[in-house]
Chain A
Amino acid sequence: MKPMNIAEKILARASGRSYVEPGEIVDAVVDRVMFHDLTGPMTLKVFEEMGGGLVWDPDRVVVVFDHIVPACSITAAENHVKLRRFVENQGIKHFYDVGRGGICHQVMVEKGHVLPGELVIGADSHTCMYGALGAFATGVGATDMAATLLTGRIWLRVPETIIVKYTGRMPEYLSGKDLILYTISVIGADGANYKAVVYSGDVVSHLSMDDRLTMSNMAVEMGAKTGIFEPDDVTLTYLKGRASSGFALMRSDEGASYSEEYEFDVSGMEPQVACPYRVDNVKPVSEVEGIHVDQAFIGSCTNGRLSDLRIAARILKGRRVDKGTRLIVIPASQDVYREALREGLIDVLLEAGAMICNPTCGPCIGVHLGVLAPGEVCIASINRNFIGRMGSRESKVYLASPATVAASSIEGKITDPRRYLGGAV
């Protein structure tokens, strides 16, 4: 049998085939689906238009309220009511209402709803984040989601696969966010369109699950269908106590082929910043240092995890957010929030003058909890800096790691985090 890479192997298994190759269209059985309070209402509308009825398997459906929680408008509240009714009528048990879960993608991995080797479909573009656990996960729109809810199946084109190898010595101040921003700058915002990305190389085995999640999360920012880390000890440790069933550890075959190969030496790499209004408009922090920021935001499915709050707290301990700048911090989930409280991180951040909001997408979607006015500039640990992403179309968003965001909040301008973490500046 010809060798396959991990993406191909998962799609072959899901479509009951022994072998698949790029370009083929397969009819695949999905292991899990997820939708949230923003894509849910349209999904349900289409589900009814398709003739409605029962979902194919309520135990494989996860529903999370995260984008607009708690409701900030009557429309949002009405949408929540509609979705709660659906969850109830369909007997969906994996439901995370306001105050029960957090940001959908974080909840999916944290609560063990994703296992290595699985095919997961979510009505959200950052579903690709679950690739960090060795799953094939990808985002779809409402109509695809409605059809998958009815049938438990989806057609997918088997993607070509790009392999990205990280080599060298990873500096202590660098994070997964810097690696992925750099990667996107080289591959480009559409460089991986329709393709899968596999993250590989010596550096990868030392990356924490939090770093991997950040990198898989942003695979879609290169147009990729999914971004996968092959499961290893870090994966198994993460899944301990989370996985509710057994799973097969699927890895790429020896000699598997890839459409493109990149190799990046991370030794001495500078912290990276993506400038408006393109995610691939990335510069080393030294080139953008000094730009004034009105708002700094640490949170989102990209970088709202415990290690993100830890590094922010480490930088902000005993310091103050600049008076011309506001810092908003949003833990990605209730669990992250509680753990951060227990570790005293929240207290450190409050002491520094940060505003802590409840787990939610918040300003990342430009609807509530930190919307930008015309002319305002924000540095954020999120994944997109498109025109109007966080509010006014005349505002600007710079993307960076939580360390860079925290350092910038202290100085009120974009700042190299090495000034606070050590490392050559």
Chain B
Amino acid sequence: MIIDGVVVKVGDHIDTDVIIPGRYLGITDPVELSKHVLEGLDPNFPTRLKPGVILVAGRNFGCGSSREEAPVALKAAGVRCIVAESFARIFYRNAINIGLPIVECTGIQSYVKDGDRITVDLSSGIIEASGYIFRFKPLPGFILEILRDGGLTNHIRKLRGLTV
């Protein structure tokens, strides 16, 4: 699985309250949610995310609550993949489960800037960014399979013999 896109950078410890504040949690429409994504960081942030964005973050991205609205809002805002120094565990699972590819890659933050084009190869564990090559530990086979199916929901439909 190869993904390419344009970098938007954010910092360390971006928590789920910042990604999508509690008061929007009644909303179930992903597009509606995406209008408020990362509002906590900057009220104009939603306008910076366009289809084809690869979010590059620092440490502990997605820490805090278990709200799945956080990755859902990012995906609906056009984020194709998130590359971070590290992720909080519940966010990590949630992103995979909704079919949003997510990779941990140490050191990348200081080498890329907003607007760079980068390519992420999920199966081989390679990122190409502004002339540099970064390696990360490729995702385990069963996680790649969930991503290939577009998330855990489709994966389970498949296992249950339902149409995807």
A residues sitting closer than 8 Å to B (CB atoms) are: 25, 38-39, 41-42, 45-46, 49-51, 68, 73, 75-76, 79, 123-125, 139-144, 146-147, 150, 155, 189-190, 193-194, 223, 225, 278, 365-367, 384, 386-389, 393
Contact = CB atoms under 8 A, between A and B. Distances in A.
Contact of B66 (A49, A76, A123, A388): A123
Contacts of A278: 13
Contact of A225 (B22, B89, B153): B89
Interface residues of B, number: 42
Given A125-B65, A194-B89, A393-B39, A143 B60 contact: no
Nearest to B68: A141
Q: What 5 A-B pairs are tightest by C-beta distance, nearest first?
A: A141-B94, A190-B60, A141-B68, A143-B97, A75-B26
Interface string B102-137: 000000000000000000000000000000000000
A242 B162 CA distance: 42
B106 to A, nearest CB: 13
Contacts of A147: 97, 152, 156
13 contacts: A41-B26, A75-B27, A124-B65, A125-B64, A139-B66, A141-B67, A143-B97, A150-B156, A189-B63, A190-B60, A386-B18, A388-B17, A388-B21
Contacts of A76: 26
A30 B63 CA distance: 24
B153 A50 contact: yes
Nearest to A46: B153
Given A125-B64, A139-B90, 11 more contacts: A42-B68, A50-B160, A68-B26, A73-B26, A125-B90, A140-B94, A141-B94, A144-B93, A155-B142, A193-B88, A393-B40
Contacts of B64: 125, 384, 386
B60 A49 contact: no
Contacts of B27: 75
Contacts of A387: 15, 17-18, 40-41
Given A25-B140, A141-B90, A51 B162 contact: yes
B93 A140 contact: yes
Interface string B21-35: 111011110000000
B40 A189 contact: no
B157 A140 contact: no
Contacts of A366: 17, 21-23
Interface of B: 13, 15, 17-18, 21-23, 25-28, 39-41, 43, 59-60, 63-69, 86-90, 93-94, 97-98, 140, 142, 151-153, 156-157, 160, 162
Given A51-B160, A144-B93, A189-B60, A386 B152 contact: no
A125 B22 CA distance: 14
A366 B40 CA distance: 13
Contact of B68 (A143, A190, A367, A384): A143
Given A141-B94, A144-B97, A190 B153 contact: no
A190 B28 contact: no
Nearest to A48: B153
A237 to B, nearest CB: 31
A154 B17 CA distance: 26
A143 B98 contact: yes
B90 A79 contact: no
Contacts of B69: 42
Q: For B39, B63, B94, B97, which residue has the most chain A Cβ atoms within 10 angstroms?
A: B63
Contacts of A365: 22
A126 to B, nearest CB: 8
B12 to A, nearest CB: 9
A25 B26 CA distance: 34
Nearest to B95: A141
Nearest to B163: A51
Contact of A38 (B17, B25, B39, B86): B25
A124 B123 CA distance: 31
Nearest to B60: A190
Given A139-B90, A193-B89, A367 B28 contact: no
